[in-house]
Chain A
Amino acid sequence: MSQDPAQAAPADDDVGDEPVPMMQQLCDNPFLLLFLGVAMPTVLYIVWGVMEIVGIPISK
């Protein structure tokens, strides 16, 4: 459990300069995830649900 993370050769080869893929960048950005994780259920569950309740017709 106490491995040294820097045991491999610290080379500045291609791997080090390789651009980080977009999906990995998304995973590395907790605040973007926070925004998505709050916005999705707010819109799809709460806002949509409340709109349906408000739209229930009045009985004849």
Chain B
Amino acid sequence: MTAIHSPAQRVWWKQPLDRVEGTWIVIAFVWCLVMFFMMPYWHIYGKQNLSNEAYRTTPEAYVAKTQAMVDKYTVRTATEQNIPVVHPVPGSDVYLIARLWNFWPILELEEGQTYKLHIMSTDWLHGFSLQPENINVQIHPGYEHVMTITPTKEGTYSIICNEYCGINHHTMASKLYVVKPKKS
């Protein structure tokens, strides 16, 4: 009987498998297992894993921490808006605020150094999309997400918002500078 009729056999469970089906099921299942174990494997041996470290916090507390970093590490300002450009010491905690419709402040990091990057939104959902690396992370209001990042190559990068956040969503973009480490 076809697929639009009831099976002809009362007990269809015992129909033997065709070789083509049996072989394919085995191959497909092995491939599924490979794909599954690839994820824990990359956690152990891979270098690109999204951190699970996150804290619940308030916009006020988060803005205060960001302001403290800006006060300490601002090296210059950029654009007519005088957005501070901060150059924090390698290894330190770096804060980035996403809000309607900009990122604040602008970060300047050193090549090959590792930072603890904190991101959070103070209003709606936003996206952290680092271009042209194409690293994409969701930004929530009220959740401070902490990840360690290591810029590998000097240059000017863009951070763009890739979570729809209203009418000026397409203007929400910023820069991230990566410079050679200062000789000390």
Contact = CB atoms under 8 A, between A and B. Distances in A.
User: In their complex, do chains A and B touch, with some C-beta pair under 8 Å?
Assistant: yes
Interface of A: 1, 3, 5, 8, 15-16, 18, 20-21, 23-24, 56-60
Contact of A20 (B10, B56, B57): B10
Interface in B1-29: 1-2, 4-6, 8-14
B8 A59 contact: no
Contacts of B11: 15, 18, 20-21, 24
Interface of B: 1-2, 4-6, 8-14, 54-57, 61-62, 143-144
B12 A57 contact: no
Contact of B5 (A3, A20, A24): A3
A58 B57 contact: yes
A59 B56 CA distance: 6
Q: Is the interface of B mostly helix, strand, loop or mixed?
A: loop
B1 A59 contact: no
A59 B11 CA distance: 60
Most buried by B among A15, A56, A58, A60: A56
14 contacts: A1-B4, A8-B8, A15-B11, A16-B10, A18-B10, A18-B11, A20-B13, A21-B11, A21-B13, A21-B14, A24-B12, A24-B13, A56-B54, A59-B61
Contact of A5 (B1, B13, B57): B1
Contacts of B62: 59
A5 B55 contact: no
A57 to B, nearest CB: 6
Nearest to A19: B11
Contacts of A24: 11-13
Contacts of A15: 9-11
